[in-house]
Amino acid sequence: MFARTKRAVAQYERIQRWSQATGKPGMNTLAREASALFQMPEKPPLWESLTPEQLATLGDPERPLLGKVVTPYDPDYETARQLFNQAFQKYPQLIVYCECADDVRRCLEFAHQHSLRVTCRSGGHSTAGYSANNGGMIIDVSQIRYCVVDEGQKRARVGAGTPLDLLNAVLDGYGLHVPGGGCGDVAVAGHMMGGGYGFTSREYGMNCDALRGATVMLADGRIVHASAKEHTELFWALRGGTGNNFGVLLELEYELYHLREVWGFGIQWSIDQAPEALQQLQEHYTKEGASDRLGYLAVVMSQPGKHGRPPKQVLVMRGMYHGEESEGRKELAPLLKTGHLAISKRGTYRYLNDSLVADIPELPPNSPYLANQMAGYVGRKLRRDEWASAIEYFKTSPVFRVKNGNEEQNMSLTFILIEPYGGAINRVPPHDTAFVHRDVYMDFSWISMWLEESQRAEAQKWLTGFVQPAKPLLNGQSYQNYPYPETPDYAQRYWSSNLDKLEKIRRHYDPKDFFHFPQSVPMP
Ligand SMILES: Cc1cc2nc3c(=O)[nH]c(=O)nc-3n(C[C@H](O)[C@H](O)[C@H](O)COP(=O)(O)OP(=O)(O)OC[C@H]3O[C@@H](n4cnc5c(N)ncnc54)[C@H](O)[C@@H]3O)c2cc1C
């Protein structure tokens, strides 16, 4: 018997002994509780027919995986099943931390054999909790993480589970860059397939625009390489078609851009100045006006109210200019007539990417991340009164009393997040990739967080209450990397005029709808 299997059995027996001695529930109880939540009453859970060691080796003790299998028998199960956003609680039967392509193939074989639903997970940051399921298998690729740089060709081969922070750290060493999001724990697989927006996207495009090749394992275990030369339709679909639709993405190949240092800045306005500043930003710092070298986020948010004071609502702009500080300041000069320059520092992309938004949101230490997010696109110029209507709604944000260290604070954990488009994003024609949103001014999303279950209903009420006031401002499309579970017309919103083509490609590469999830690309 292999050492790994022996360990699994020993661990199981240890838990059972501990359970009997303490009278506390053992892993069998946890497994039963989980199975009640599986919502698959017609199918008995796997542990009724398989032993713990069979589960731990995916049914073949003679052929252990390189990676690790976590089942409800394991003490790690509670941690392993969690996503970044703990608002979504799911109970899979198996979580498999794959370390290589062969582990992924074993997962697929086992899932077919036992008719298990399969969900891929890389960084686990899906805003709708779509990298977990109830009662099925999670194929976790977070251990397939590496970045191999070909400096001469300005190319990088990157493992599907590589987090953006690791990617940025490696590329910084070469003075090379690929555009991508601000959160370092987001991983490339999910991020790229949903588009991938970051501070440098106005200069270099979406993360998916830098993709030059991808290696994918299809549902039947075949490995295909998609690029401009082979499996071209799949290559088209992967760039914006979202994850868990076509196969398990194993490796990405990116084109890289030279980027050594940038100037980072932060500007702040009072909430009363926000409508005018937002109108000015849209007019001169999105599709028209500002140089592509300027990238930023604008966030309407609240700073914690200390000593019994209410939270302070503000508009902040955090961004980077790829060039000299003096040139950057010139670009921003009209904004600095009303806004206050609160941050000014120079550094590498990675350093500024981490530090510019480190205080958004400003939560007490060790707080769980519990949030819901809805999103839309602004497709026309908004009048000042329209911006004012959004700000008026923001002012209705719930206020929570929160313990932060030794102090009680008043906090509003709501945000309007604006990500400006234009530049390189909009230069790609909408039908060149599955990412269709190429003619908009900005992504407009709103986020509502909470820290305790008792605050959730109020946070959710604010989130959904924004749908009506936001509707006239938005163009009916949404960014597919910010999915929201209860979006009935999601396919039209995410893919619009690219939907027909995407459906056909999905039918070709996943004909049996094996990778189905609630917001899959529909089957024609
Ligand atoms: C705090 C936070 C900050 C964010 N910041 C940004 C930002 O700045 N810019 C931006 O554009 N987006 C941002 N996002 C959104 C993020 O880009 C998307 O949620 C993205 O899909 C996450 O990718 P992931 O791999 O980390 O997530 P996961 O949840 O692991 O995966 C997302 C989807 O892809 C599927 N998937 C994962 N791995 C694979 C694979 N190997 N093969 C096939 N399918 C797979 C999953 O099943 C799921 O459906 C942010 C999200 C959060 C929570």
pLDDT for position 38: 46
CA 252 to ligand 1 center in whole angstroms: 15
Three-class secondary structure assignment of 172-225 = HCCCEECCCCCCCCCEHHHHHHCCCCCCCHHHHCCHHHHEEEEEEECCCCCEEE
Task: Write the residue with the smallest CA distance to atom 7 of ligand 1.
Answer: 181
pLDDT for position 239: 98
CA 126 to ligand 1 center in whole angstroms: 5
pLDDT tens for each residue of 16-54: 555 565 555 555 555 545 444 444 444 677 877 888 888
The Cα–Cα gap between 395 and 445 comes to 16
**Domain at 3-140, CATH class:** alpha beta
Task: State if residue 519 touches ligand 1 by the CB under 6 angstroms criterion.
Answer: no
Which atom of ligand 1 is nearest the CA belonging to 207? 11
pLDDT for position 26: 53
The Cα–Cα gap between 93 and 50 comes to 12
260: helix, strand or coil: coil
pLDDT for position 15: 52
Task: State if residue 121 touches ligand 1 by the CB under 6 angstroms criterion.
Answer: yes
Fold of the CATH domain 147-258+498-509: 3.30.465
Task: Write the residue with the smallest CA distance to atom 23 of ligand 1.
Answer: 190
Task: State if residue 180 touches ligand 1 by the CB under 6 angstroms criterion.
Answer: no
Ligand 1 pocket test, pick from 84, 120, 192 with the greatest ligand atom count within 8 Å of Cβ, gives: 120
| CA atoms 267, 273, 275, 277: torsion sign | negative
The span from the first CA to the last CA of the chain, in angstroms, equals 48
pLDDT for position 1: 31
Task: Write the residue with the smallest CA distance to atom 32 of ligand 1.
Answer: 190
The Cα–Cα gap between 193 and 213 comes to 12
pLDDT for position 23: 54
Amino acid at site 273: Q
The residue assigned the tokens 């990157």 is 158
Task: Using alpha carbons, list the distances in angstroms from residue 226 to 213, 312, 318.
Answer: 6, 49, 36
Count CB neighbours of 99 within 10 A. 19
pLDDT for position 74: 87
Q: In CATH, what number does 261-485 get?
A: 3.40.462.20
Task: State if residue 206 touches ligand 1 by the CB under 6 angstroms criterion.
Answer: no
Structure letter (DSSP) for residue 473: G
The domain segmentation of the chain, as residue ranges, is 3-140, 147-258+498-509, 261-485
Task: Write the residue with the smallest CA distance to atom 26 of ligand 1.
Answer: 123
Task: Using alpha carbons, list the distances in angstroms from residue 40 to 72, 109, 319.
Answer: 16, 21, 47
pLDDT for position 206: 98
Instruction: List the chain pLDDT tens, one digit each, 524 residues.
Output: 344 444 445 545 555 555 565 555 555 555 545 444 444 444 677 877 888 888 889 999 898 899 999 988 888 999 999 999 999 999 999 999 999 999 999 999 999 999 999 999 999 999 999 999 999 999 999 999 999 999 999 999 999 999 999 999 999 999 999 999 999 999 999 999 999 999 999 999 999 999 999 999 999 999 999 999 999 999 999 999 999 999 999 999 999 999 999 999 999 999 999 999 999 999 999 999 999 999 999 999 999 998 889 999 999 999 999 999 999 999 999 999 999 999 999 999 999 999 999 999 888 888 999 999 999 999 999 999 999 999 999 999 999 999 888 889 999 999 999 999 999 999 999 999 999 999 999 999 999 999 999 999 999 999 999 999 999 999 999 999 999 999 989 999 999 999 999 999 999 999 999 999 999 999 87
Amino acid at site 54: Q
The contacts of residue 126 (CB under 8 Å, 6+ apart) are 83, 85, 190, 243, 483
Count CB neighbours of 388 within 10 A. 17
CA 123 to ligand 1 center in whole angstroms: 6
What is the rounded average pLDDT for all residues in the chain? 92
pLDDT for position 72: 83
